[in-house]
Amino acid sequence: MPMISYDESISDVSVTENAIVRAKFSIDEEMYQSLVSGALKVQSVMKTQDGWEWNQAAKMPELTQESVTADGSSYSFLAEFAYSGVKEGALKGIYFRLAGVGPKGKVTVSDVKVSNVEKGEAPLPEADPTVVDDFESAQLGTDGGWEQESGWQYANGLTRKVVSYAGSQMLELGLDYTGCGGYTWSEAKIKKNFAEGIDVSAYNRLTFTLIAPKEFSGFKTKVFGKNSDSEEVIIEKEGVVETTDLGDGMVKADVTVSFSPNAEKLTDLTIGIVGVSTTFVGNVYLDDIRLSQYNAAADFVDITSVPQAGTVADTSKMPATVTLSDANATTETKALYAYLTGLSESDEVLFGHQNDTHKHVTGRSGVYSDTKDVTGSISGIVGIDSLSLTGAELGMDNVDDAIAETVKISKEAAAEGAILTLSTHMPNMSDSKIKATPDASRPYDFSACDFSESKNLSNNCSKEVLPGGKYNAQFCAYLDILADYANGLGDIPVLFRPFHENTGGWFWWGSATTDIETYNALFRYAHDYLTEEKGVHNFIYVYSPGGPIETESAYEKRYPGDEYVDIVAFDYYDDYNTYPATYSDDFMKGLAKTCQVVKSFGDKHGKIAAISETGVRVQKADGSDNEGILVKDNPIKGQNWYSKVNAIAKENGMPYFLVWANFSDTNFYVPYKYNDTKGQELINEFIDFYNESSTIFANGTNFYGNVDNSTVTNGNTNQNPGGYFTNVFSKDALVGAKSLYAYVKNANKVQFILANGENKVTLDAAVTGKNESSKAAKGNIYLAANSGVKAYKADVTEEDLAALGKTDVGTITLVADGKTLSTLSFVSFGQEKATLPANVIENFELYYGDDDYLNGTFTENSAAGCSSAFRLTDEKSGGTYGGAFDYTLKSSGPEVWTGRQKGLSVNDYSAYNALTMWVKPDGKGQKLVIQLVSNGEDFEAHLTDFVATSDAKYVTIPFDKLKGKNGGTFDPSNVTKFAVWCNSVDYVNGVDLNSTIVFDDIQCIKLTDKELEEAKSNPYYDKGYIVTDTSYVKETPSGNGDNGQNPGNGNGSGAVTTPTATPITTAPAADNTAAAKTKTGDTTPIVLWSIVAVISGSVAVVLIRRKKLPFSNRKIK
């Protein structure tokens, strides 16, 4: 019986009584063939303690042809040896004995791992805190040896001067974030070299103090330290900031950065001060940079669970035929879809993790995946984002290099068995950080763009990226990057998930700025461009709106169509927005319901259903954010969260779920190891989840080299029509003759049908050639000549418009071979649409009495069981309509909120300094949030105290009272969204609540210095707003000059000054309702007479109603 000695040089490892050994056995072709005549048994032996005591595993697994996995000409077998009654103590050696009759050949052992061990970790030697720099010995007026280093999205100056401040010498830093308001991460950096080096072998924490003006209190920090000789990185981490108010407009920030001790000396230290959506200019003061010790291990738990070999996926239920939206999908792509279909039938679920192999928390040597470090395998699905392709997530500024590196990362993950998925956080294509590079190989450079640019809601991006739009060239250049990545992977298929969470309003493709038909056009065009123009045939297209989802009709509302989607999925997070938080099963209930809805929808449409993105987000103790789970004190501890999600996915036939990335120890979604014996507090639950029989990680996918080349037929014969308009949109105005364009595939006859009630004009559209018009023309087609997708054109004439008659509620329908592909609604024929004055956000007068139109403008986002909607009402401050915000909050829990949001076409409110509105509260006292989005950051005012009353008042919010979620400064020159949110408060006590708050005349105004000073005595002022009985807005009848509320509107209207608003000087009194008054802000009212005939028998009664509509000369594309 031959014996293999694996290791006799083990040190500092002690084994416990129930140790487990795992190993990989590889055999050559000769051995594989000889196994036909008999099996080869494998025995494991350990020697322990100083006496080298013999310990033998009880069971001997067998090597047979059936038990090995073939990989080309090599074969491998994963074996596990469970011990009991081990003589506990120091591990001296591991041995394997092979026994059998007949087998012959070469056996190689690798990847030997021992579980249930105690790894010795030497405690830090005692060391007193040491000062790195406290500036006391530096000469006043000098820079103290600190230099400015090149910043990130910060190109301005940074002065450095040692000064005497608050009784101590500090380094005064003159910061200038001018022009940085659009960036959520503008990092000014200073650096100092310590020539002799600082010994950090006994330290694991660096701290320093920053004193700053309160207006800059939302800053972040980052520290980078290295040894310049070896280039060893010692510190690279964001600081934890704890802020104290010093009074007199200043705050003190104590910053802490944890790191691992290092034998290399610290020679170069860089401190970054990060501005968040700020234009701050001023001084901050740096002091007391120290090294110290911290017992970080106390925050972690002992690792007691033991990873097993992992489940191998059952591939026996793969169907022979699938239907994919790409008729030319590759063999491997069809096989992957069949594989996922089979998993859903086998009750097995792939675990996915974003950025699993190139982002991790642990700094342990040799670790590239927290998941693998914990379980022995990387995740079954590895997520990649387009931010890696453009360099942002890889720290690279060359796109071609970033693509090559991402392809390498992806191929390596696939080599370990992982299925790949690609998400996209595309920048708004109008963003100034996108640079034209006409002389380079790529026409545009996206390397300066990060996550924040995907939240830029300006400039109608979704419309303008379509063919003929202002930013189509940029969009195509970005799609080219995705195509280069896809094609660079060769035969590896990818689950491609573009334009996710579109039902929310935070991305430029979301519902706040992109209507349903435009979103569909965007998704369909990207699909056509990649498949037809770029020849990408290894993408499986995933549609993933945000959850929770209550009904199939809600899911279908923005669905791009069966011809463009392969997997129906959703993104849904378990959020805890208070600290400390208590566990609630509301998320699991909402997840189960959403899975049922989406699975049912998928079954009816012949699609796989999946959970495309999820995770737990817990509010941090300092209230800074809720990105990911905490190191300790999580509300989900002990709840087996991962196992519960897996069970819900399995019960609903969903073959995978994916959690978000591990970026740092303040932003992670999967537990990680602190050392060999300790880990984050959820680590044992995660290992138990990994060990479940239904859970598939990369080591058990069983796809590559097994079924990836299976013969699977694609049922898509490329015969179903599909298409979308490219240069006309819902709510557009056709005032004169215009050529309309659409992209359509698989059609013989294409028609554009224009309708105004019973009046209809049907236009037969004709294919337009690729070179018919210049690239600047609307509707130009860039698709290959042999493409199945064609551009169609039809001309709307003046005679057509006359036949239709004037209207603001017309429709345009795209029909192919009798099938309706798209219908645009609320289109104006023969007249411009009325628009709001530049300062008015909403007055509810432009919806033609149609609540659907209103709610298409104010889109919803709600927690499970909650809902909201606007409806037009005669409760108002003036004019014809007010907006009734009807909301439902279900029983209390960590996620009880709902809201409506509106994207803004007018973005510059810099001529004003306050937001005002008429509000009729409901007396329920729920948390009512008024929100404006500026430079991608949410700024809010909470009207909770006011809505506990019941009388209508005017509420005015000075811009400087708006609080940024990221601590930024509100920039009125770039406001892209307005929203109303309602959250539950603690005293809901589990009772469902249905109520209504009414709004009207929401507009920006310019308060005088006197008004602002007088407002300080308002009882609500310290809460961030002002409540008055009358409006600050002056009446503006025609012909008397400008009133200052609408500067630059050019309409020649004037003002008659009315008395200034009457502030409330005591607590709100009962029955003190603000009187209705004429709508203001509509600077040139037009009076129309609406005549309605009511017929009863032979008598006609004519009702005459006075209705006011605003006037504007602004054109709509």
| Mean pLDDT on 173-185 | 88
**Secondary structure (3-state) at 531:** helix
**For residue 1065, pLDDT beyond 70:** no
Name residues whose C-beta falls within 8 Å of residue 1019's C-beta, 6 or more positions apart in sequence: 1027, 1064, 1065, 1066, 1067
Lowest-confidence region among 221-235, 885-899, 1038-1052: 1038-1052
CATH of span 722-829: 2.60.40.10
On the question of pLDDT at 1069 being above 70, the answer is no
Q: Which residue has the higher pLDDT, 260 or 1051?
A: 260
The mean per-residue pLDDT over the stretch 603-626 comes to 91
Rounded to 5°, the CA angle 265-127-630 comes to 85
Residue 122 — very low, low, confident or very high, per pLDDT cuts 50/70/90? Answer: low
What pLDDT shows up at residue 969? Answer: 86
Cα 541 from Cα 564, distance rounded (Å)? 7
Whether residue 698 is predicted with pLDDT greater than 70 in this model: the reply is yes
Cα–Cα distance for residue pair 406/402, rounded to 1 Å: 6
Q: Where are the domains of the chain?
A: 3-119, 130-294, 351-702, 722-829, 840-1081
pLDDT tens column, 921-949: 999 989 999 999 998 889 999 999 999 99
CA gap 975, 814 in Å, rounded:
34
Distances (CA, A) of 744 to 499, 720, 771, 792, 839: 21, 10, 17, 7, 40
Q: pLDDT tens across 478-506, in order?
A: 999 999 999 999 999 999 999 999 998 88
Least confident of 52-66, 289-303, 482-496, 1021-1035: 52-66
DSSP 231-244: --EEEEEEPEEEEE
Question: Which numeric CATH code is attached to 351-702?
Answer: 3.20.20.80
Task: Indicate the burial class of 1107 (C-beta count within 10 angstroms; 0-12, 13-18, 19 or more).
Answer: middle
Single-letter residue type at 559: Y
In this predicted structure, the answer to whether residue 780 has a pLDDT above a threshold of 60 is: no
- pLDDT value of position 787: 66
Q: What is the mean pLDDT of residues 464-473?
A: 94
Higher local confidence (pLDDT), 1071 or 473:
473
pLDDT-based confidence at residue 769 (cuts at 50, 70, 90): low
Residue 382's SS3 state is strand
Looking at 187-196, 802-811, 851-860, 952-961, which range is the least confident one?
Answer: 851-860
Res 6 pLDDT > 70: no
Please list the alpha-helical segments (H only) found in 845-998. Answer: 851-857
Q: Among 93-102, 525-534, 1103-1112, which stretch is predicted with the lowest mean pLDDT?
A: 1103-1112
Strands 349-354 and 656-659, sheet pairing: parallel
Contact by Cβ (8 Å): 90, 37 = no
User: What per-residue confidence (pLDDT) applies to 949?
Assistant: 95
Least confident of 5-14, 37-46, 176-185, 365-374: 5-14
Class of residue 926 by CB neighbours under 10 A (exposed 0-12, middle 13-18, buried 19+) = buried
Residue 117 has pLDDT above 60, yes or no: no
From CA 276, how far away is CA 212, in angstroms rounded?
Answer: 14
Say whether 840-1081 and 130-294 share the same fold.
yes
- pLDDT per position as a tens digit, 1094-1105: 333 333 333 333
Residue 503: how many other CB atoms lie within 10 Å = 23
What is the C-alpha to C-alpha distance for residues 453 and 457, in angstroms, rounded to an integer?
9
- Quote the CA–CA distance of 772 and 832 in Å, as a whole number: 29
Q: Which of 695, 685, 687, 699 is nearest to 657 (CA)?
A: 695
Please give the distance of CA 204 from its chain centroid, rounded to a whole number: 32
Residues 561 and 722 sit within 8 Å (Cβ to Cβ): yes
d(CA 565, CA 452): 27
What average pLDDT does this structure show over 39-49? 82
The per-residue pLDDT for 785 is 53
Q: What confidence score (pLDDT) does residue 643 get? A: 97
Instruction: Assign 891 a pLDDT band (cuts: 50, 70, 90).
Output: low
Phi, psi of 388 (to 5 degrees): -75, -40
As a whole number, mean pLDDT of residues 692-713 equals 95
Confidence check: pLDDT of 1068 > 50: no
Longest dimension (CA), the chain: 115
pLDDT of residue 152: 87
Per-residue pLDDT at 1075 = 36
Q: Can you give the pLDDT at residue 52?
A: 73
The predicted model scores a pTM of 0.75
What is the pLDDT at residue 37?
A: 73
Q: What is the pLDDT of residue 545?
A: 96
Handedness of CA 682, 688, 693, 698 (dihedral sign): positive
In angstroms, the CA 580 to CA 621 distance is: 7
User: Superfamily for 840-1081?
Assistant: Galactose-binding lectin (2.60.120.430)
Average pLDDT, the chain: 86
Count the alpha carbons within 13 Å of 980 in the hemisphere toward its beta carbon. 28
Question: What share of the chain in percent tops pLDDT 70?
Answer: 87
**Inter-residue contact 606 to 562 (CB < 8 Å):** yes
CB 550 within 8 A of CB 862: no
Report pLDDT for 55. 80
What is the C-alpha separation between 528 and 1052, in angstroms, rounded? 48
Q: 3-state class of 815 per DSSP? A: strand
Give the residues across from 258 on adjacent strands. 205
Whose CA is closest to 697, among 188, 933, 357, 998? Answer: 357
Element (H, E) at 612: strand 608-618
pLDDT at 212 (0 to 100)? 94
429, 534, 411: which is closest to 482 by C-alpha?
534
Cα separation, 564 vs 523, in Å, equals 8
Query: In this predicted structure, what is the pLDDT of residue 116?
Result: 61
Q: Write the pLDDT tens digit of every residue in 631-645.
A: 999 999 999 999 999
The whole-number average pLDDT for the span 760-767 is 96
Answer CATH for 130-294 from 3.20.20.450, 2.60.120.260, 3.30.360.10, 3.40.50.300 = 2.60.120.260
Quick check: 1087 and 966 in contact, CB under 8 A?
Answer: no
Q: Tell me the β-bridge partners of 981.
A: 899, 929
